[in-house]
Amino acid sequence: MEFLIEYGMFLAKATTIVLAIVIVIAVLASSGQRSRKPGKKGSLKISRLNEHFDDMKEALRSSVLEKKELKQLHKEEKKQEKELAKQEAKAAKAEAQQESESGESAGSRKKRVYVINFKGNIAADAVSSLREEISAILTMAEAEDEVMLRLESPGGMVHAYGLASSQLVRLRNAKIPLTICVDKVAASGGYMMACLADRLVAAPFAIIGSIGVLVQLPNFHKVLQKYDVDYEMISAGEYKRTLTTFGEITQKSRDKVQEDVETIHDIFKSWVKEHRPSVEIDKVATGETWLGSQAKERYMVDDIKTSDEYIIDACKQADVFEIEYEFQKTIQDKLGRVLEEGVAKAVSRWFQQTHVDKYQ
């Protein structure tokens, strides 16, 4: 009896704590919603990557080199900077004189490279940020500038990746050079986006391709029949529904879906061929994937290099800015994100542990 009383007290305390936490979260969420600026969706986060790499370089040199050696190096760099400044001033003077004589203004400046990122899932949710980033870039970018997209996506829904691809078409229509770098994977819908690049760069072991279309879903019609469960669906239009989760799949429905899949595949092939005319489309549109070096042999990519190499090279001759659009997050969003990351870490830890045990 005493045990039951103690257990009841513990349960009451635990329930009180949980309720208190829920009330606090609700109050914070409500106040967070009231404090949000009306009409403001989010903000741009801009980082100058030239400074980022310079800071890392200086931090490493300060730790590795002797003070005397570092001082001498700084002295030589200042001398080089002065010489470079003289050369630039001389070139600017000559350019100004040429403009004066011709009556035209060249308006030359240092090239800018805008770096954006797209990490795609099945629904291509990253398109929400992508469209804002491209809209911002188009307000300033000129023909001598460049946009570099770091792309990672295994593909997903046709309409979602169609919209993501259409955002990149906006850059092409504005005559802004587009470089796409693939470090890990650009398959299916990911490659639909990648083939829009003026220059497509892939890491040696990046996964490229999967030019195909897939439809799959489980069907529980036989299970329902076994347990004598009726399933009704009322629709208008012969092909309003074809394959469903609970309805009986007929050969007519199956044939219709097959026809639709082949139509989408033909459109996908035409898209790739239009934007990468050098590929032998019938040989690569088999649904297969290739590593970066293999894809280059098939003219599916233009160069083998990581995005890090590309950006560091760009920093030597251009001002490089990383652009990221961040949406305002509610307290619910933040708590959901924390919960999602916690679950992901737990699953990852379990997966790693089971595989380690298996191979020990």
Q: Mean pLDDT, to the nearest integer, of 282-294?
A: 97
Segment among 87-96, 117-126, 351-360 with least mean pLDDT:
351-360
Strands 42-48 and 319-327: antiparallel
Residue recorded with tokens 């470079």: 84
The phi, psi pair for 333, rounded to 5°, reads -60, -45
Tell me how far the alpha carbon of residue 101 is from its chain's centroid.
48
Segment among 51-65, 285-299, 310-324 with least mean pLDDT:
51-65
Residue 121 DSSP one-character state: -
299 burial (CB, 10 Å; 0-12 / 13-18 / 19+) is middle
Distance CA(253)–CA(221), nearest Å, equals 14
Distance CA(357)–CA(294), nearest Å, equals 35
Q: Position 349: which residue type?
A: R
Handedness of CA 341, 344, 348, 350 (dihedral sign): positive
Strand partners, 319: 112
> How high is the pLDDT of residue 32?
52
Encode pLDDT of 240-284 as tens digits: 888 889 988 889 999 999 999 999 999 999 999 999 999 999 999
The Cα-based distances of 91 to 12, 99, 106, 109, 192 in angstroms read 80, 12, 13, 12, 43
> How high is the pLDDT of residue 79?
85
Residues 6+ apart with CB under 8 A from 307: 148, 150, 181, 183, 201, 203
Instruction: List the domains of the chain with CATH numbers.
Output: 112-210+288-327 (3.90.226.10), 212-277 (no CATH)
- Of the residues 240, 283, 316, 358, only one is catalytic, namely 240
> Bigger pLDDT: 269 or 85?
269
Q: Mean pLDDT, to the nearest integer, of 300-323?
A: 97
- Of the residues 188, 210, 296, 307, only one is catalytic, namely 188
SS3 294: helix
Is 188 one of the annotated active-site residues of the chain? Answer: yes
HSE at residue 316, side-chain half, CA atoms within 13 A, is 5
Segment among 38-52, 127-141, 315-329 with least mean pLDDT:
38-52
> How high is the pLDDT of residue 35?
46
The answer to whether 132 and 340 are in contact (CB under 8 A) is no
Encode pLDDT of 296-306 as tens digits: 999 999 999 99
Distance CA(70)–CA(82), nearest Å, equals 19
pLDDT over 70, % of the chain: 76
Distance CA(129)–CA(44), nearest Å, equals 10
Distance CA(19)–CA(110), nearest Å, equals 59
SS3 241: coil
Distance CA(294)–CA(7), nearest Å, equals 65
Tell me how far the alpha carbon of residue 10 is from its chain's centroid.
48
Angle, CA of 327, 344 and 215, to the nearest 5°: 80
Segment among 18-32, 118-132, 152-166, 199-213 with least mean pLDDT:
18-32
> How high is the pLDDT of residue 258?
95
Q: Within a 10 A sphere around the Cβ of 287, how many other Cβ atoms?
A: 14
Residues 6+ apart with CB under 8 A from 83: none
The answer to whether 125 and 163 are in contact (CB under 8 A) is no
The Cα-based distances of 319 to 2, 113, 129 in angstroms read 74, 6, 22
pLDDT of 359 > 70? The answer is no
Segment among 6-15, 38-47, 235-244 with least mean pLDDT:
6-15
Distance CA(300)–CA(200), nearest Å, equals 8
Is 68 one of the annotated active-site residues of the chain? Answer: no
